[in-house]
Amino acid sequence: MTILQSLVALYERLERRGETIPRQGYAPVRIGFVLELNSNGEPLSLIDIRDHTQRKPLAPKLLMPAVSRTSGIKPAFLWDKTSYVFGVTGLEGGDGRLLVPGQGKRTLDEHDAFRKEHCEALAGLDDEGLRALYRFLNSWSPDKWQSSGFSNDALDQNIAFRLKGDFGRLDERDAARDLIVSRTAVRSTSATCLITGEVGPISSLQPQLKGVAGAQSSGAPLVSFNASAFESYDLKQGANAPVSEEAAFKYGAALNWLLDRAHSRSFRLGETTVVFWADQRLDAGDGVEADAAEDDLWAALGGEAPKDADAAGAAEIGGAIQDVKTLRRAPNPKLQAETRVHILGLSPNAGRIAVRFWLVDSFGHLKKNLDRHKRDMEIKPPPRNPDQKAFALLYEVAVQRKAENIPPRVGGELARAILSGGRYPSTLLNSVVRRVRVDQDINANRAALCKAIINRDNDQEVIPVALDPTNMNAAYRLGRLFALIESAQRAALPGIKATVKDRFFGSACATPARVFPLLHKNAMNHLASIRKERSPGLAHWIEKEIGSIWSGLSDDLPKALRLEDQGRFIAGYYHQRFSNSDGASEAQSDLASEIQGDA
């Protein structure tokens, strides 16, 4: 199943489940007031339907007939703001705060356009509610606002209509829906849709997607043919890859629903926006259990519990969310291992949306991949915050650890590696090593990244979880040696602000043959000072450890270390620098505790 086919199926499942998702010809609109009319078209009351429990009254989002309006005058159908409906807009009062009714430069033109379009569309209809609106527009004039008794709070709010005695709005009446469908019908060439396989009118332009980080705020298409270079056989726009109007609307509406943060179905990884959804099992009967499991999964992966969850359910989902963020276990026991999960990564690309990655997998296999990443990232001593999000690792490769500085494409590539179980991106190791050499900050996350990337590339554990004195790799041993040389300096010069790490780490990691002879000479001087002024036992232990490491190195130190060996150097340094030695004396343990406190 392709991406677009899966999104069309998702739309149909959401529609069956009763989710508030746009219908073709409709779009979500914030409606603040409803004008009640009698059958003669006389306005009876302007009902405030906003939520007043919020800090500022919030109009609810309702599905209304869609309108595409830019800077010109174009009325909506069966709803609009007060300048279109009443010919009245809000102007600043004498105190500069309260709004008073009045007309702007084009308010009367907007009202006239609204009245003309509706009178043409509603003339001759038999529906009582639509006739009432027709009569209202033919009898209303903007100067009646003052005597209507309507609140000025409604000025510039979106207004819908309803007939007295009806609970529904006019746009919900059957006659209105038929009229909306006929008004939005597009006369275009028919062809076989590549998504559904059915013959129907083909969409010339694909839907605009909103919510992808870095893309145009007004929306950008996932599929487009915006230049002649992308067209062939004299076909124009959507005819190059025919998708029916219905299928295009459905996949666009489904993807926009996923991208809406209110639904907790998306999150950002660097420049990549990731969305998730799960398939409903065909054997799930009425689908109640499958829908609940899908909601739990999406809430867990997205990071928020559903807003309508009760207290017990919210607590259960909250625990599941934490489990997924920290990669401890499956997010919800209700989920079946065979549940199919779709994961789509999107990035902006020159006016359109690019697919960064697309994964379809069972939940059981996805969990195994998450667990594998957790094992790969295990290191001792562990990071101070073991419950951090899995993708917080991206901040370790960003300048000043700011989200906007995360290298391009690394987020999507890391997500693909974690979720698919494949190799980590080679650019990630390069980024980690570069950041360590620049800021000399070697922490658990950076060392663990070096370990995970190198081990997965070699399909075996070449870098251990904890300090391994028996590891004979030259780069790993040189990292340990550098940590011991720094420890000797710190012990000989208590309270020192800048150590050899701040001056020599980058060159020691890249070109050890040029640096280590000098570092070793200075370390011997520091050991002599420790032996005389502080602790002979500590000096003996450090000297013994240094000698043990030297004994496993060849006489000719490497002139340069390749990128993977620089990662081993960092891991070796971290293990030696922040690990307690079983053979250390009390004084050595004190030094190790001091070092550990700086991690």
Instruction: Write the DSSP symbol of residue 470.
Output: T
If DSSP states are collapsed to H, E and C, what string results for 127-142? CHHHHHHHHHHHHCCH
Residues of the chain where predicted confidence (pLDDT) is lower than 50: 285-287, 289, 300, 302-322, 324-333, 581-588, 592, 594-599
573: left (phi over 0), alpha (psi -120 to 50) or beta: alpha
Q: Give the burial class of 567: count Cβ atoms within 10 A of its Cβ; 0-12 exposed, 13-18 middle, 19 or more buried.
A: buried
Output 557-561 pairs: Cβ under 8 A, ≥24 positions apart.
Answer: 557/474, 557/478, 557/512, 557/513, 557/516, 558/474, 558/475, 558/478, 558/512, 558/513, 559/511, 559/512, 559/513, 559/514, 560/510, 560/511, 561/475, 561/478, 561/509, 561/510, 561/511, 561/512
Q: What angle do CA 360, 364, 367 make, to 5 degrees?
A: 90
Tell me if 483 sits within 8 A of 576, measured CB to CB: yes
pLDDT score, position 419: 84
pLDDT score, position 486: 95
Instruction: Write the DSSP symbol of residue 29.
Output: E
CA distance linking residue 43 with residue 421, whole number of Å: 64
pLDDT score, position 335: 53
148: left (phi over 0), alpha (psi -120 to 50) or beta: alpha
484 is written with which tokens? 């011991």
Task: Tell whether omega for the bond before 381 is within 30 degrees of 0, i.e. cis.
Answer: yes
Tell me if 309 sits within 8 A of 315, measured CB to CB: no
Q: Give the burial class of 311: count Cβ atoms within 10 A of its Cβ; 0-12 exposed, 13-18 middle, 19 or more buried.
A: exposed
Answer yes or no: pTM beyond 0.75.
no
pLDDT score, position 426: 84
Q: What angle do CA 579, 581, 583 make, to 5 degrees?
A: 175
Which amino acid type is present at position 44? L
Instruction: Order the strands of the 43-48 sheet from edge to edge.
Output: 43-48, 33-37, 158-163, 80-81
pLDDT score, position 326: 46
Burial annotation 134-164 (CB, 10 A radius, 16+ → b, else e): bbbbeebebeebeeeebeebbbebbbbbbbe
Integer-rounded Cα Rg, in Å, for the chain is 33
pLDDT score, position 232: 74
326 is written with which tokens? 């920290």
pLDDT score, position 57: 93
480 is written with which tokens? 């340990």
pLDDT score, position 320: 44
pLDDT score, position 314: 39
pLDDT score, position 595: 46
Q: How far is CA 560 from CA 299, 492, 585, in A?
A: 48, 30, 36
pLDDT score, position 361: 86
CA distance linking residue 306 with residue 294, whole number of Å: 11
Nearest Cα residue to 414 out of 399, 401, 395: 395
pLDDT in tens, 3-61: 999 999 999 888 887 777 888 888 889 999 999 999 999 999 999 999 999 889 999 98
CA distance linking residue 11 with residue 249, whole number of Å: 10
Backbone angles phi, psi at 391, to 5 degrees: -90, 5
Q: Give the burial class of 555: count Cβ atoms within 10 A of its Cβ; 0-12 exposed, 13-18 middle, 19 or more buried.
A: exposed
CA distance linking residue 255 with residue 6, whole number of Å: 10
